[in-house]
Chains A and B, each alone.
Chain A
């Protein structure tokens, strides 16, 4: 039927890729010896013990990069259909797309000017 059309093969692939690791992991889970100690539970089994909380606060720079990534991710979404139909749509669409890119480029320019892209 419908689902066995375009993406049926992909679905079967996913099912098989699920079955393979599970069949490999189940005997390992059943056969493994278990001797848990507190030492084994810490994030790094060898090395220095962690002091204090392991959830630390990150700097704002990470968020600014993620923000700019999000905006240009959506730009890609709008760019892709245009790129597929580039030949048929012609000059007008090209100009429109340059306007679109220009508006978003303005944002990138602003971020650059404000120092959001400099890694301090």
Chain B
């Protein structure tokens, strides 16, 4: 009981101190982060747990958009825009298109899971993975510092077209190969 009282007292004191030092900006910052975090995490959980695969696809888009907002939160508006454009736009369209191309008999139970035993095993594996990573990142003392880097689009352009010119061209080749490969695979099915 005493411990509980002390805890409540500490929390109230902390709230008063924060309000007094006019640190409302920190609280707004944190609430924005947690709101975006819950949007992306709950949508991701929905993707994994939904019985209807169309709902999964739509929730996946919601998760992508939440993550894109988090990029903007991290002062990386260009990556956020890329996330909206590529993931929230093109990839989402492609996945919904794939669902439309492959017909199912019963849409309400289209997203089947494996057996209960298998689900429990998967939960243990992914839970253990999460535990490992979170303990590792909590134990590590990161030297945090938000350096003033200037405009990200300008910096990205300078790096992309001078130092990282080869990966840039290889990305083009990769996209070309992906496009031709997907066309060949999909068109072949069309003709047969």
Contact = CB atoms under 8 A, between A and B. Distances in A.
Specify the main secondary structure of chain A where it touches its partner.
helix
Given A60-B186, A81-B156, A104 B172 contact: yes
A6 B76 CA distance: 11
A64 B94 contact: no
Nearest to A81: B157
A103 B172 contact: yes
Contacts of B187: 60, 64, 114, 116
B157 A3 contact: no
B11 interface: no
A60 B189 contact: yes
A116 B107 CA distance: 29
Interface in B46-90: 72-73, 75, 77-78, 82, 85-86, 89-90
A4 B25 contact: yes
A58 B172 CA distance: 30
Interface stretch (B2-10, B97-105, B120-128, B132-140): B97-105
B112 to A, nearest CB: 16
Nearest to A120: B190
Contacts of A103: 169, 172-173, 175-176
Interface string A82-120: 101100110011001101100110110011001010000
B168 A100 contact: yes
B168 to A, nearest CB: 7
A70 B94 contact: yes
Contacts of B91: 70
A71 B26 contact: no
Given A57-B103, A81-B153, 6 more contacts: A3-B25, A4-B25, A7-B72, A11-B32, A77-B82, A82-B161
